[in-house]
Chain A
Amino acid sequence: MSFDKFGQVSFTSQTKVGAFVEYLDKGELRATYCQECGRTFFPPRADCSWCLSSNMEWVKIEDGGKLVSFTKVNYGPTGFESDVPYVLALVDFNGVKVFGRINKEVPEEQITVGMTVKAETVTLANEQLSYIFNPA
């Protein structure tokens, strides 16, 4: 499966970490883990800039992240016009930070920095694969 299956709008199709979308298709959100130095990476990367190894494996991201920050976006870039408003968010899963969106169903007033959220994989209306944050 090509990487351009990922996201509301995709900008690129080729990467060595294309397996990310295959895990999304199986309902799993995964990061990469360097088997040489033991660091975990999100966004997933094919190469470790610390020990220069490319010996990576895919690891699951733990449930129960903490919301670092969020914003409700009312004006989107090209390709997202019909999508607004949406809530962008950064979530810290025990040191591994993941950028994404909070489920549209959650009213902005109920979203607070520090709240616990979980990541769930989703198939979007345009058949693209992604993940979304929901209150835990």
Chain B
Amino acid sequence: MPNDVAIIGVGQSAFVRNYEGSIRELAFEAYSEAMKDAGITNNDVDASMICSAPEYDQQRSPSSLIAEYLGLNPQPTFAIETVCSSSTTGIRVAYSLIKSGLHDVVVVLGFQKMSEISSADSQERMGRGADIMWESPFGTMMPANYAMHARAHFARYGSTEKDLALIRLKAAKYGALNEKAVYRKGLDLDQCLNADVVASPLKRFDCCANADGSSCLILASADKAKEISKKPVWIRGLGSATASLTMSGRDALDGLNCARVAAKQAYDMAGLSPQDIDVAEVHDCFTIAELMAYENLGFAEPGKGVELIQNGETYIGGKIPVNVDGGLLSKGHPIGATGGSQTRTIVLQLRGEAGDIQVPGAEIGLVHNIGGVGVYGNVIILGR
């Protein structure tokens, strides 16, 4: 297993509905936590990767501003964007910069202040998230395209709206335990099944909570990690893949091929298989996305993902605990910050510092972070 690049510091802001501060201050919250966690200061950093979806930012070229505020001049900085998977793409770039020998310590900072633009502006941008020539003219939305995946999965495998609600109930249970989660209220099955239909068959509680938030990871070379960190968590495998932006370019809608391809790369690089994973964070922007992730990551055979949630196997104590921090559904989904937050959760799990949501004895963890409706897929395997 590769032993070249470690994560030596993690931080995350609280994920909230309306952050009362600027994006620079939001970024600082995760940064200061991660830098203190790593025990380093700005002079120890060689470069910064600033990850966000720029359509939400009023500031143009926000990496310049964020790097200045974090005290990271004159080191190089640049923006990284793959929508909802921006910060795991940041990890991939930082890994490459360190592995190449160019840098020893790289900051991966993800942020999004989704409340920075009005709801009307947000709706307008949402419509242009699909192919603007061929699919947006019909009135596409993220929930609608995931809903089409849900309907295709139901039709092929017999999964149901209730199965999706069970996934939401798990998120609600663990979200209530996470003091940084935006949605901490409990939910019951009737509430989930009787909620407003957003895009059939997806209802209100099948959709993740928008939020403002930031995440930060400090990556270091093996030599640096051994020198300054008592608790490095190693990047064992990385996978990254894409699929068509258009729905018409997909072979099928009952899974995400970018996740399958990225997972195979990550497992192969780590020399591990799905059975070796002790705890996972998957991209549950919608409940159907978590169900597809069970199958696309190999935790279940295609069509058998529902058995994992029906039998409680993705809870703590089950075969493969998934999203025990509340996931995007309850913790919240501040686009550019999400992958870094997922990775932070796994790092804390592998250090044994996850508190109420600790999976006992976790040694190997996995992050699955998706951009767009299965357009960009990143899978990362971490180990102690």
Binding site for B on A (CB under 8 A): 3, 6-12, 15, 42-43, 68-80, 83-84, 86, 88-90, 97-101, 108, 112-114, 130
Give every chain A residue within 8 A of B147 (Cβ-Cβ).
71, 73
A-B contacts, 15 of them at CB < 8 A, read: A42-B248, A71-B147, A71-B202, A74-B198, A75-B198, A77-B126, A78-B120, A78-B123, A78-B127, A79-B127, A83-B139, A88-B148, A97-B248, A97-B249, A114-B155
Checking A9, A83, A108 against B200 with a beta-carbon cut-off of 8 angstroms, the contacting residue is A108
Is there an interface contact between A11 and B136, defined as CB atoms closer than 8 Å? yes
Give every chain A residue within 8 A of B120 (Cβ-Cβ).
78
Give every chain B residue within 8 A of A113 (Cβ-Cβ).
151-152, 154-155
Given A9-B127, A11-B133: A73 in contact with B148 (beta carbons within 8 A): no
Checking B133, B137, B200 against A130 with a beta-carbon cut-off of 8 angstroms, the contacting residue is B137
B362 within 8 A of A: no
Task: A43-B246, A77-B139, A80-B139 given; name 20 further pairs at CB < 8 Å.
Answer: A8-B137, A10-B137, A11-B133, A43-B134, A68-B252, A70-B148, A71-B148, A71-B201, A72-B199, A74-B196, A74-B198, A74-B199, A75-B199, A76-B127, A77-B123, A77-B140, A80-B127, A83-B139, A112-B155, A113-B154
Give every chain A residue within 8 A of B344 (Cβ-Cβ).
none
Given A6-B137, A78-B127, A101-B138: A88 in contact with B144 (beta carbons within 8 A): yes
Closest to B248 in A: A97
Closest to B147 in A: A71
Is there an interface contact between A11 and B132, defined as CB atoms closer than 8 Å? yes
Is there an interface contact between B196 and A88, defined as CB atoms closer than 8 Å? no
Q: CA of A7 to CA of B127 in the docked complex: distance in angstroms?
A: 13
B253 within 8 A of A: yes
B277 to chain A: closest CB distance in Å?
30
Closest to B132 in A: A11
B37 within 8 A of A: no
Chain B interface, number of residues (Cβ within 8 angstroms): 41
B 197-250 contacts with A by CB, 8 A: 197-202, 246-250
Given A9-B136, A69-B253, A99-B135: A75 in contact with B141 (beta carbons within 8 A): yes
Checking B124, B133, B201 against A12 with a beta-carbon cut-off of 8 angstroms, the contacting residue is B133
Given A43-B131, A68-B152, A80-B127: A11 in contact with B200 (beta carbons within 8 A): no
Is there an interface contact between B148 and A90, defined as CB atoms closer than 8 Å? yes
Closest to B136 in A: A11
Closest to B251 in A: A97
B63 to chain A: closest CB distance in Å?
27
Is there an interface contact between B133 and A73, defined as CB atoms closer than 8 Å? no
Given A11-B132, A11-B133, A78-B123: A69 in contact with B155 (beta carbons within 8 A): yes
B170 within 8 A of A: no
B 98-152 contacts with A by CB, 8 A: 120, 123-124, 126-128, 131-141, 143-144, 147-152
Is there an interface contact between B253 and A8, defined as CB atoms closer than 8 Å? no
B353 to chain A: closest CB distance in Å?
40
Q: CA of A10 to CA of B200 in the docked complex: distance in angstroms?
A: 25
Give every chain B residue within 8 A of A11 (Cβ-Cβ).
128, 132-133, 136-137
Q: CA of A4 to CA of B5 in the docked complex: distance in angstroms?
A: 50
Is there an interface contact between B138 and A88, defined as CB atoms closer than 8 Å? yes
Is there an interface contact between B144 and A73, defined as CB atoms closer than 8 Å? yes
Give every chain B residue within 8 A of A78 (Cβ-Cβ).
120, 123-124, 127
Is there an interface contact between B139 and A73, defined as CB atoms closer than 8 Å? yes
Checking A43, A70, A88, A112 against B139 with a beta-carbon cut-off of 8 angstroms, the contacting residue is A88
Q: CA of A108 to CA of B148 in the docked complex: distance in angstroms?
A: 14
Is there an interface contact between B247 and A99, defined as CB atoms closer than 8 Å? yes
Is there an interface contact between A71 and B144, defined as CB atoms closer than 8 Å? yes
Q: CA of A120 to CA of B150 in the docked complex: distance in angstroms?
A: 26
Q: CA of A7 to CA of B128 in the docked complex: distance in angstroms?
A: 13
Give every chain B residue within 8 A of A8 (Cβ-Cβ).
137-139
Is there an interface contact between A72 and B247, defined as CB atoms closer than 8 Å? no
B 147-188 contacts with A by CB, 8 A: 147-152, 154-155
Is there an interface contact between A100 and B141, defined as CB atoms closer than 8 Å? no
Is there an interface contact between B152 and A69, defined as CB atoms closer than 8 Å? yes
B355 to chain A: closest CB distance in Å?
37
Closest to B150 in A: A71
Checking B124, B138, B149, B150 against A99 with a beta-carbon cut-off of 8 angstroms, the contacting residue is B138
Given A69-B151, A79-B127, A90-B148: A43 in contact with B141 (beta carbons within 8 A): no
Is there an interface contact between A90 and B137, defined as CB atoms closer than 8 Å? no
